[in-house]
Amino acid sequence: MRGSKTCFHNPLCLAAPFVVWTILVAASLAWAVHAAFLHADETATRRGRDLFDMIEITRAWNARHAGVYVVRSSYALPNPYLRNINRDLDAEHGIRLTMIDPAYMARQLSDLARSRGVRFHLTSNNPLRPANAPDAWERATLKSFDQGAAEHIDLLEIDGNPTFRYMAPLSVEPNCLGCHAVQGYQLGQVRGGISVDIDAAPILSHRDRQIVKSGLAHAVIWVVVSVLLWQTLHRLHLNIAELDRTRIQQGRTIERKNRDLKKARDTIMKLQSSDALTGFHNRTHFEKTLQEDLDKSEARGSSHGVLIIELDYFNEYNTEYGILEGDIVLRTVAALMQREVDHQPALFSRYIGSSFAIALAGVGDKALVACAEHLRRSIYELGIKHEHSEAAKFVTVTIGTAHLADGASLPARDLLKRAAVAMYKGKRRGRNCVVSA
């Protein structure tokens, strides 16, 4: 009996859990890398937004005071683009002042911030100051603001250094119209923007460290779980192999038990259908089989014959010589009949007590009588001593025959009854003879 094939006998099936696990880990790592990139972008955007808001707050403070005056110096020269009659003032003690408007303040803050690694630029598509003209990236971003974008950020390489460029729009407010009304701007209209350049190296370095950490963590988890998974699958494989072996052994045991049961059943059937002393069929099985043979003979249109053979004065023999000796005689006579009847097919039965029955298929009437006479003579010639027999001083038999012609129909019991009646006629005639029905 072969073991049933399972998934664990297929190498591809064993590899499938590892493939699925690897795909899950790879997907998780890809998500973690994507999240690290998003976090870096969000960090840069947040910093850019914070700087933009700080600049806007500073500009708003300046605008609320309608500009502020500072002492003129090399760091605060008069603004040539500021159209205000009070742009320059002379204070006491010869101190000369000049007005710093929001735009001028933003430029000065930009100069200071540049020394700290941060650059921002106030720009517009129609600037009053030519130096505030946008570069290509700023121009494209301003165009996106006209189309409704709220802010924009990109990672670029500037002077060989990675840089996040953030930009948000500036809308026209009432305090802006003093200088920009002549340019045709209206309240709420986007008149420009502030771009902020942020050194990306620290942010990207942090991002890359997070990616490496995540990669190492995923690698460790993949290895640990893979080892546990392999151990689990290995144990399952061993358990299934053991179950297969057990099933095979059980199958062999069941097959052996089935063979033993069949053998026992056959033995029981044989015991139920045969005589233990002679091995011949018992009366019930003989009559059943004879009826089946008669039905076949009728269908084929062939003849059939039966013999009823009874040992003469056998009760007296058992009384004189003992039952054990009687059993020996029965076995001896049975063996002789089976040996001397050369007609085939032949069916033998220990019919009742000391009587036997023989059925011969396809036999003629004369051949049936000749067979009976041959058996009677052969049994007599055995010379088995029987002092209390009135037929002879040896064991003898009386035989009755009954013949069924070709194609004739008669129940088995009736045919046997005919032969038995003929046998009893022979007993009345003095025994040790053959009588035909």
What are 253-292's pLDDT values in tens digits?
A: 899 989 988 887 876 766 666 888 998 999 999 999 999 9
Residue 1 is predicted with a pLDDT of 43
Sheet containing strand 397-404, edge to edge, reads 346-352, 355-361, 304-311, 397-404, 434-436
Question: How many secondary structure helices (H) and strands (E) does the chain include?
Answer: 10, 12
In a domain, 160, yes or no: yes
Residue 199 is predicted with a pLDDT of 87
Q: Which two tokens stand for residue 211?
A: 């990616």
Contacts of 127 (CB under 8 A, 6+ apart): 133, 192
Spatial distance between the Cα atoms of 416 and 193, rounded to a whole number of angstroms? 128
- To which H or E segment does residue 226 belong? helix 201-273
**Choice among 4-18, 19-33, 257-271 with the minimum mean pLDDT:** 4-18
Query: Residue 123: pLDDT above 60?
Result: yes
Are 56 and 157 in a shared domain?
Answer: yes
The label of the residue with tokens 């870096």 reads 40
State the burial class of residue 165 (Cβ atoms within 10 Å of its Cβ: 0-12, 13-18, 19+). buried
Query: Residue 184: pLDDT above 70?
Result: no
Give percent of the chain above pLDDT 70.
Answer: 91
In a domain, 86, yes or no: no
Residue 8 is predicted with a pLDDT of 56
Are 417 and 314 in a shared domain?
Answer: yes
- Listed residues 206, 225, 259: the one ending a domain: 206
Question: What is the chain's Cα-based Rg?
Answer: 62
**Mean per-residue pLDDT, 319-339:** 95
What are 54-96's pLDDT values in tens digits?
A: 888 887 787 788 788 888 887 778 877 777 777 888 888 788 8
Report angle CA 152, 158, 162 to the nearest 5 degrees: 75
Please check whether residue 283 is in contact with residue 349, taking contact to mean a CB–CB distance below 8 angstroms.
yes
- To which H or E segment does residue 29 belong? helix 11-64
Are 41 and 184 in a shared domain?
Answer: yes
Please check whether residue 255 is in contact with residue 248, taking contact to mean a CB–CB distance below 8 angstroms.
no
Spatial distance between the Cα atoms of 320 and 88, rounded to a whole number of angstroms? 168
Query: Residue 3: pLDDT above 50?
Result: no
Residue 174 is predicted with a pLDDT of 58
Q: Nearest CA to 106 among 127, 88, 123?
A: 123
Please check whether residue 422 is in contact with residue 355, taking contact to mean a CB–CB distance below 8 angstroms.
no
Inter-CA distances, 11 with 15, 300, 315, Å: 6, 64, 81
Eight-class DSSP state of 4: P
Spatial distance between the Cα atoms of 319 and 327, rounded to a whole number of angstroms? 12
- Overall number of domains in the chain: 2
In a domain, 178, yes or no: yes
Q: Nearest CA to 405 among 310, 324, 297?
A: 297
Query: Residue 181: pLDDT above 70?
Result: no
In a domain, 235, yes or no: no
What are 216-264's pLDDT values in tens digits?
A: 999 999 999 999 988 988 888 888 888 888 999 998 989 998 998 888 7
- For residue 11, say if its preceding peptide bond is cis, omega within 30 degrees of 0: no
In a domain, 120, yes or no: yes
Residue 400 maps to which CATH number?
3.30.70.270
Task: Specify the amino acid at residue 162.
Answer: P
**Mean per-residue pLDDT, 307-334:** 95
**Residues forming a β-bridge with 71:** 97
Are 418 and 291 in a shared domain?
Answer: yes
Please check whether residue 369 is in contact with residue 436, taking contact to mean a CB–CB distance below 8 angstroms.
yes
In a domain, 300, yes or no: yes
Q: How confident is the prediction for the chain on average, in pLDDT?
A: 86
Residue 395 is predicted with a pLDDT of 96
Eight-class DSSP state of 431: S
In a domain, 349, yes or no: yes
Are 202 and 287 in a shared domain?
Answer: no
Are 43 and 172 in a shared domain?
Answer: yes
Are 60 and 188 in a shared domain?
Answer: yes
Residue 184 maps to which CATH number?
3.30.450
Query: Residue 380: pLDDT above 50?
Result: yes
Are 179 and 325 in a shared domain?
Answer: no
The string of DSSP codes covering 140-196 is HHHHHHHTT---EEEEEEETTEEEEEEEEEEE--GGGHHHHGGGT--TT-EEEEEEE
**Mean per-residue pLDDT, 325-347:** 92
Query: Residue 348: pLDDT above 50?
Result: yes
Q: Which two tokens stand for residue 411?
A: 């129940």
Are 183 and 301 in a shared domain?
Answer: no
Inter-CA distances, 385 with 264, 310, 380, Å: 40, 17, 10
In a domain, 338, yes or no: yes
Are 401 and 292 in a shared domain?
Answer: yes
- Listed residues 206, 225, 249: the one ending a domain: 206
**Choice among 17-31, 168-182, 282-296, 395-409 with the minimum mean pLDDT:** 168-182
Query: Residue 31: pLDDT above 80?
Result: yes
Task: Specify the amino acid at residue 203.
Answer: I
Are 199 and 295 in a shared domain?
Answer: no
- Listed residues 168, 188, 206: the one ending a domain: 206
Residue 70 is predicted with a pLDDT of 85
Are 345 and 199 in a shared domain?
Answer: no
Please check whether residue 311 is in contact with residue 431, taking contact to mean a CB–CB distance below 8 angstroms.
no
pLDDT band at 25 (very low <50, low <70, confident <90, very high): very high
Query: Residue 364: pLDDT above 80?
Result: yes
Please check whether residue 76 is in contact with residue 70, taking contact to mean a CB–CB distance below 8 angstroms.
yes
Spatial distance between the Cα atoms of 238 and 232, rounded to a whole number of angstroms? 10
Range of the domain at 387: 283-436
